[in-house]
Structure formats: C-alpha cells, structure tokens
C-alpha cells in the first residue's frame, strides 16, 4: 500500500493557496504538512482544501506569524499540539493516522529561524532557537506507546556540509553554524530518528530545499540550503521508496522560498 508524506513551508497559506492546490492536484500526498501558515485557525482556507480532497485538517495558527497545519486524506486518530519555551507561537502539531498495519504519529514542526547574529548572548532570537531545540529533545521516535513516528518540517538548520551551497562561507551564518548543526544532528540521533532524506541521498551529494528571495536568479546561482527535513522511526526505513523535491515550485508565480519535499512509503 502506498503512503506519502509531504512537507512545505508555504510562507502564508492564504496568499499561496493557488500553489498548494496546483501541487496537490498533481501529487496528491496522503499527508501534507505546511509551515509558516501565518493564519489564525478561524481564517484557514478549509473549504478550498476540503474541496480538493483533504477532508481532515489540523491547524495550529495565529495571525500574521508562524503557524503549522496538517492536511490528510486519511482520518485522524489523534491530534496533539505542543508549546515550546512558553512562547505560545504555534510551531508544532502532531496527528496520528493509520496506514497499512501501522499507526503513525506525524509531527509537523516550524523551528525558529534565529535572527541574523549567531550569538545567544546578544541575540534573543538565536537564544530562543537553541532553547527550542533543547526542548525538542523530548520528542522521541519511540515514545513507548507502540506508534511509528515521522517528524517533518522547516527545522531552519542545514546540518551537513552538502546541505548548503558553500560550507566554508556559511559557517558563521545562522542555519549552518556549528552549534546549530551539531545540536540538530545530536537531536536526530539521540532521539532515535533516521534522517530519511540523507538515507535516500547520502553525503556528499548536495540537497537543497530553500533558495533566498534575495537571489536575483535563484536557479542559475543555486545558492540553496536544506532547511526542510523528513525523519522517521527506524521501523519505517525499510518501507521508504521514492523521494521528490519539487524544485520547480520555487519558480512558480509568487512562490515560497521553500519547496515541497515528498517521501513515499510502501506499507503492508
């Protein structure tokens, strides 16, 4: 049985609704996890997305900033929302669905970007990012309840050398500083997670999911970063099939600076 999970920082769900509809019409992932929805729950475009087949929608949003939403072709068995750092800034939602003979908890995260200065002593946004990651360590692949797990989202860190266009030039740039990359790699391994994107495409091949709005010609310069991630519990690794990074979405009209990533599974 095929099962697919997609993640996409959409950078305003209402502004980019036409792009979402275009992608889901073509790809039809079972689960679509959106980040940076920038939309309070009562203003979310439920009607249009349900008309496109996504009857099951879980949202955790606020006006103008942050926000996550998970759309599903399958009914939810459970919905959970976690708060981090006592900020109440809508950066996580988790749903549980049945796929094949597995019950899978799917975490959808939007990790703080961290501002421009990678020094927690002078930059409260970077301090918030590091504190958020510290609290994320409680989210394990195996929570002892018999569920399989998937963790996706804009984690705002490109952890490996070939997750950025230039390792040397970005070492002092927020999203690729040593403290961030080590923290995320440790969070993944110590939490019992498997980085499926790097399992599918190992280093040293480059993987990018984000290209800056500031780039005059993002495609030709190709100065990208892998800020979007898909992790899973080890039991799902043997079921992993195709991975798609929809780079063409970056070239759509009024695009997000992130592109969708879709992981396909074959479950019994």
56 is in an annotated binding site: no
Tokens describing residue 183: 């923290």
**88 carries an active-site annotation:** no
Enclosing H/E stretch for 110: strand 102-110
| Segments in 1-156 forming alpha helices (H) | 17-27, 46-51, 124-136
Q: How far is CA 197 from CA 209, 245, 261, in A?
A: 11, 10, 9
> Tokens 């926000």 label which residue?
67
60 phi and psi angles, rounded to 5 deg: -145, 90
> Tokens 């002593």 label which residue?
121
Tokens describing residue 128: 């918030």
Tokens describing residue 161: 């050398």
Considering the candidates 110, 176, 195, 229, report the single residue annotated as catalytic.
110
154 is in an annotated binding site: yes
239-267: b (≥16 Cβ within 10 Å) or e: bbeebebbbebbeeeebbbbbbbbbbbeb
Considering the candidates 30, 89, 154, 228, report the single residue annotated as catalytic.
154
Residues in CB range of 205: below 8 A, 6 or more apart: 162
60 is in an annotated binding site: no
186 is in an annotated binding site: no
Kindly tell me the burial class for residue 25, based on how many C-beta atoms sit within 10 Å of its own C-beta (0-12, 13-18, 19 or more): exposed
**154 carries an active-site annotation:** yes
Considering the candidates 66, 107, 229, 258, report the single residue annotated as catalytic.
258
**Cα dihedral across residues 84, 85, 88, 91: positive or negative:** negative
CA angle 216, 243, 206 (to 5 degrees): 45
**46 carries an active-site annotation:** no
CA-based nearest residue to 260, from 60, 69, 5, 1 = 5
Known binding-site residue numbers for Mg(2+): 9, 36, 154, 156, 257-258
Known binding-site residue numbers: 9, 36, 154, 156, 257-258
Catalytic annotation, residues: 110, 154, 258
């Amino acid at each position: 049985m095929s099962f697919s999970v997609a993640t996409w920082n959409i950078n305003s769900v209402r502004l980019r609704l036409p792009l979402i509809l275009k992608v889901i019409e073509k790809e039809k992932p079972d689960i679509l996890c959106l980040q940076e929805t920038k939309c309070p729950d009562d203003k979310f475009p439920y009607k249009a997305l349900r008309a496109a087949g996504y009857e099951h929608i879980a949202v955790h949003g606020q006006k103008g900033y942050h926000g996550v939403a998970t759309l599903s072709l399958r009914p939810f068995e459970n919905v959970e929302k976690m708060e981090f750092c006592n900020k109440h800034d809508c950066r996580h939602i988790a749903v549980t669905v049945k796929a094949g003979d597995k019950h899978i908890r799917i975490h959808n995260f939007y990790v703080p970007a961290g501002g421009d200065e990678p020094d927690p002593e002078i930059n409260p946004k970077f301090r918030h990012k590091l504190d958020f990651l510290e609290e994320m360590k409680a989210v394990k692949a195996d929570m002892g309840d018999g569920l399989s797990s998937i963790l996706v989202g804009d984690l705002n860190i490109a952890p490996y050398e070939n997750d950025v266009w230039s390792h040397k030039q970005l070492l002092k740039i927020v999203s690729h500083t040593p403290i961030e990359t080590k923290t995320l790699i440790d969070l993944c391994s110590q939490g019992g997670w498997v980085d499926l994107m790097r399992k599918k495409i190992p280093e040293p091949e480059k993987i990018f999911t984000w290209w800056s709005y500031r780039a005059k010609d993002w495609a030709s310069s190709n100065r990208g970063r892998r800020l979007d991630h898909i992790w899973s519990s080890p039991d799902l690794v043997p079921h992993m099939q195709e991975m798609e990074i929809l780079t063409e979405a970056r070239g759509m009209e009024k695009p997000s600076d992130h592109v969708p990533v879709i992981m396909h599974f074959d479950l019994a």
